[in-house]
A and B are shown apart, each in its own frame.
Chain A
Amino acid sequence: MLLKDEMSSIEQTKSRLMRGVVQDNVNVLRNVRVARVKRRRTLHWRWMLTGVVVATTVYATVFLSLTPDSNAPAVSAAPAARDASVPETEIALSTPLPIDRTAIPLSIKTIVIDAGHGGEPGTTAESGITEKEITLDLALRLRRLLKNAPFKVLLTRETDRAMSLEKRVGFANENGADLFLSIHANWMEPHSIRALETYYVGPTDDPAALKLVSRENKGSGYSLSDYKKILEKIYVDARRDESRTLAKSMQAQLFRALREKNPALENRGIKTAPFVVLIGTQMPAILVEVACLSNEDEADLLTKEDYRENIAVALARGIRSYANTLKASDRKGS
């Protein structure tokens, strides 16, 4: 009898689980998101999610309304349900509709340059040169080069001081930045690699990028699995397209400018990865890995002022080139 009861209980549980499996798959098929993410206690987590939700809502209300025959379900403000079978509908995630820039004229008024690390050194070359020194030097040079630009240039740090990733993100958001550029230097195995990479926000399954993300996000207070939970929301973030355009512009300028003096430099192109500074900022944002400190020759190049100036000039060109594309599309629109 007991055995029969147990079997009946297992069958009931299985039946309940099957309903969950089918509903989950139907939701994937219909592109409906089931609300499952539990509320976090930390204020900052809520703040980050709020940022993403605001972006999502703006996207849904402004951009989707431009689409005459959108089948996307409406955004729901329903509270998170524990029962997985109750879906909370959101806008379609996988293929946000492309927006013609001319629909919303954009311009750059403020940019924030983030010199990676500070206080803690970041990566350190064999020769002793540190990432924090390089990034600060480049940020200061870039500010000088953009002195006469028609936009305000702000730096997250101007000295060797520690600054959490959250504060950097907060600084950019609070100052209403229109563009965020985070400067870093990489460390790669094997050390023979000299690579140039530009990242914008999005998921990654590249082990090397994941390692880099873990390193650069170190001390942020979140784990990689936490980031994954909010990444799907990033798909609907309209600024992702702008960040991608900016990343392309920056990567092209940097590679063009540096390959002459650094012929072994490898152009690894633009990539997506879940860096905290890219997730939390509310404007087009990129993170550039301008060099590999793990490569002794490249680290040696970075000790030379003219090479660092070359990088800064290329960064400035990347920003101007992106700003010009905005002007061009503005003209096209008018």
Chain B
Amino acid sequence: MEETNEPICVGIDLGTSRSSISASNGERHVVDSYVGWPVDMVARKLVKKPVLVGRDALDNRPMLDLRRPLERGIVKEGSEKDQEAVQELLRHLISLAGLKQKGKNKSKVRAVVGVPAEAFRVSRQNLRSTIEGIADSVMMVSEPFAVAYGLEALLHALVIDIGAGTADFCVMQGRYPTEEDQRTLPNAGDSIDEQLMKLIREKHPDAQFSIHMLREWKEKKSFVGEPRERVTVTVPVKGKATEIDISQEMRTACESILPPVCETMTTLLMKVEPEFQDKVRNNIILAGGTSLIAGLPEAITKALQELGGGRATVVTDPVFAGSDGSLAIARDATTSDWDKLSL
């Protein structure tokens, strides 16, 4: 743990489903983006904490007022409780990184936070005020840009960061990306969940399952293209544990994001100078939790064939690519840069 007042740089990827932190002291952590408060005195006595974050909150959800405070990568608007939940989530991430938030040895925190590529300015301002009191200085960058910066994919690259709430696109052309270089789509992990829920309910109307169970199935067994194995899960059907086959539903739901993702990719590729389009097509970088769907890079590579060929690859560490990239930006910023952006 740091015992100094020297500034600590952190990169934070605030995700709708998961949030990660990478710190300059070498700490890296990821948590589920859930925050919960005990609903009453009994619950408080049982959970023994005033507030629970991440997996802890999910596991104790029957006793909690559970919040998933981020929607499409930004703080849900109009809810003070959700804003408070984001603050708890940020405090939790900072404490996981071993940084002191109180007392004489309080760490001086310089944070770079990833936001969706097309986040509204008011949303960014809202997030900035949420972080007040948690970090000393903050910058916000678009998530795919952070990924590109961390990987040093600064020229002739297209980053597609597919999370739970949004799929964010950013073409890197050696300059700071403008709105024209970026796109945000609402078709991402959560839209797959919605689709999967609908399809399974249609096929197995008596099966009982929750959105949390469904998300776990998806994380373990999602795929696009030809199935490599049957996807079966065990759920209560009229009270009896029953194995059901959800292979086709899983495939259909996961493939539902392919058309909008490929269409947006094509739109952005068309905006690149013609002589460089080939280079960018061969440097499509996928990041974010949803990029871990089996067969996704192959499916996008296949779609690129229609444009003259290309290649999509998944980053080595999709979960931390955003926070690592944000940390790289935080480290490269000078003290005078940070001074301009202190809270």
Contact = CB atoms under 8 A, between A and B. Distances in A.
A235 B122 contact: yes
A10 interface: yes
A84 interface: yes
Given A13-B174, A21-B141, A24-B176, A29 B341 contact: yes
Contacts of B118: 225, 228-229
**Contact-residue bracket for chain A:** 35 or more
Interface stretch (A30-38, A56-64, A117-125, A259-267): A30-38
A13 B179 contact: no
B152 interface: yes
A29 B74 CA distance: 17
A14 B122 contact: no
A230 to B, nearest CB: 11
B122 A18 contact: no
Contacts, number: 98
A189 B74 CA distance: 25
B278 interface: no
Given A26-B341, A93-B122, A205-B76, A84 B176 contact: yes
Contact of B154 (A17, A84, A229): A17
A33 B176 contact: no
A26 B149 contact: no
A224 B76 CA distance: 19
Main secondary structure of the interface of A (DSSP, over half): helix
B71 interface: yes
B180 A14 contact: no
Contact of A14 (B139, B149, B191): B149
Interface residues of B, number: 40
B337 interface: yes
A14 B154 contact: yes
A304 interface: no
A221 interface: no
B172 to A, nearest CB: 9
B121 A93 contact: yes
A203 B120 contact: yes
Interface of A: 10, 13-14, 16-26, 28-29, 31, 33, 36-38, 82, 84-85, 93-94, 189, 203, 205-207, 210, 224-225, 228-229, 231-232, 235
A14 B340 CA distance: 19
B121 A205 contact: no
B167 to A, nearest CB: 11
A21 B174 contact: no
A80 B141 CA distance: 22
A22 B341 contact: yes
Nearest to B181: A36
B47 interface: no
Nearest to B72: A205
Interface in B238-280: 264
B209 to A, nearest CB: 15
